[in-house]
Structure 1
Amino acid sequence: MEELILTIVKPLVDHPDEVKINLEESDRSITYKLSVHPEDMGKVIGKQGRVAKAIRTVVYAASGSKQQKKVFLEIVE
């Protein structure tokens, strides 16, 4: 899943080397915390959050039935 997120996000940003994903897992959920360079934050979020929503849609669809846990994607500063 992390590779999928990196594949989607790295072409969008000006600083692809600073794209990082931290994984937090609990009994019921998996949370991927995406951090990017501060200058790239707007590119990843997009106007009115459209890009972020599209990334989340793809990630949620890809993880859909494979896991019994709920998957979340957070964009952190």
Structure 2
Amino acid sequence: MTNETPVYQKVLEEILRSLVNHPDNIVVTRRVDEMGVLLSIKLHPQDMALVIGRNGENINAIKKIVKAIGKRHFARVNIKVEEPTNLEKQTSLLKSEEIIKKLKEEA
């Protein structure tokens, strides 16, 4: 059995990297069971809105593309976006506030 990353997962990772501001924080995990393949996405909290989009349009389009590629490779693919924890949200907010403060000082 090979541990090579499937095409549909590579495509998902590439789409996400092109959308977000923090591409190094993207983690996609794959779990296979009797229901199919579950790709779980973990993102930087500030990138959640970019990936989900207005009314979920972006994530729905991403799901449609990845599912179509999965079908071609005989895999039933589902995608789940993991919510950041409160600690991750707070840390992200503090960093944003620090950046804003520095920019104001420079002006």
* Whole-angstrom CA distance in 1 between matches of 2:19 and 2:59: 11
Structure 1 gap ranges (5+)? none
Q: CA RMSD in A?
A: 1.0
Determine whether 1:21 maps to 2:44: no
1:4-50, CA deviations, whole angstroms, 9 ceiling, x for partnerless residues? 00111101100000011011110231100011100000000000000
Runs of 4 or more consecutive aligned structure 1 residues displaced over 6 Å after TM superposition: none
Q: Which has the higher helix share?
A: 2
Determine whether 1:70 maps to 2:76: yes
Structure number with higher relative contact order (C-alpha < 8 Å, ≥ 6 residues apart): 1
Q: Which has the higher strand share?
A: 1
Structure 2 gap ranges (5+)? 1-7, 84-107
User: Percent identity of the aligned residues?
Assistant: 26
> Considering only CA atoms, is the larger Rg found in Structure 1 or Structure 2?
2
Equivalent in the alignment of 1:50: 57
Determine whether 1:33 maps to 2:31: no
Query: Structure 2 vs 1, CA of residues 64 and 18 (structure 1 numbering), >3 Å: closer, same or farther?
Result: same
In the superposition, the TM-score normalised over structure 1's length comes to: 0.91
